[in-house]
Chains A and B, each alone.
Chain A
Amino acid sequence: MAVQVRIPTMFRRYTDGEATLQVEPGTIADVIDQIERRHPGIRQQLLTEQGELHRFVNIYVNDEDARYLDRLDTKVTDGDTVALLPSVAGGGPS
């Protein structure tokens, strides 16, 4: 078992169309490094030049926004799911 990374449609042009990637456990920063090595170009979509998470990108670990965990230092382990999603405004319930 590895860590599953779900790639939304808008980022798949950087992953040769792949919707799911398998990576090794580590931190979210390690996960992004692994994806970047395989598919160069995606890092600058996710992170700013300063290496911070882009404000319109949310990274979820098992559905929880990593900003409220340990951000890029959040650890992921075998069986975890990481999802990369653009932020969206809702409107109904709030």
Chain B
Amino acid sequence: MRYGSVLDTIGNTPLVEVPRLSPDPSVRLWVKLEGQNPTGSVKDRIALAMIEAAEAKGELEAGQTILEPTSGNTGISLAMVAALRGYRFTAVMPDNASRERVQLLRAYGADIVFSEGAKGTNGSVALAQKMAAEDDSVYMPFQYGNRANLMAHYEGTAAEIIADLPEIKAFVAGLGTGGTLMGNGLRLKEHDPAIKVVAAEPELGELVYGLRSLDEGYIPPLFDPDMLDGKVKVRARESIVWTRELLRREGIFAGISAGAVVWVAQRVGRRLARDGGGDVVCLLADGGWKYLSTEAWTQDIDTAEAQVEEVLWW
């Protein structure tokens, strides 16, 4: 296939059946491989959508600096799109993001401002908002509240899933900004209101929760809890185990959050089996490359768990 720009290769990712990971013979389990996007994650979709939306509204001018809080993937995608469209890009990210994410951001030409790792992405959001408030020459897409984030999934990801698998019964994805779940959920429920939309969310280390007070709680403006039919928390350990299973049994090398999503899909699938079964789609947000330094695939499970918990794996 020929393309005029790498931006044209964003989306239309493969939907692959993973029968060896199905929890029941009546359940067909599928994974949508967002790691196949040009920078290796689902965030290419929203980076392009948010920048195009800002351009259309006249909010971005050539040479302007884009600033965004990100745990890595969105930053890498924004850096790529910004470079091709003639903008500078600064990422605000926790200082415990995996080493590969930092290396990739620099490779794509981004400037990086680090926020306190123990405060997670909440810390990055607060710091980026402060920086943007102090400098009105920067443009902040703000993926947590940008409707173009949600629409990239409504018009792209979910439309692709419906075209490939109109009989879909359940959809599982990770909860971060909420954009993936809200955008896909909206479109899928328009297609068939009976489709179950379930979120996998990370159970972060004690350290992360311990340093917070309730006043620091943050619910992304895009997130509408009523769009979901369930939300399940997943520990790093189960995520690693299922990320390994994806590779060992199905040859799919995906990021650690993918394991969390497939683990939740086991529960969703078993429940679906009691109602006659059906097709479950898991959105796998990224490929495994950016997590190699965590030794998630190569160490014994206890060591791998400890190393993954030290970095921001979500």
| Residues on A facing B (Cβ under 8 Å) | 8-10, 45, 54-58, 60, 63-65, 67-68, 83, 85-94
Contacts and interface: CB of A to CB of B under 8 A. Distances in A.
Interface string B226-237: 001111111000
Contacts, number: 129
A94 B285 contact: yes
B180 interface: yes
Given A55-B219, A56-B219, A87-B217, A92 B212 contact: no
A85 to B, nearest CB: 6
Given A9-B206, A64-B230, A92 B179 contact: no
Contact of B232 (A65, A85, A86, A89): A65
Contact of B71 (A54, A64, A90): A90
Nearest to B263: A63
Contacts of A65: 230-233
Contacts of B175: 90, 94
A91 B233 contact: no
Closest 7 CB pairs of A and B: A56-B217, A94-B176, A93-B285, A9-B210, A93-B174, A90-B176, A91-B71
B267 to A, nearest CB: 8
Contacts of B27: none
Nearest to A84: B209
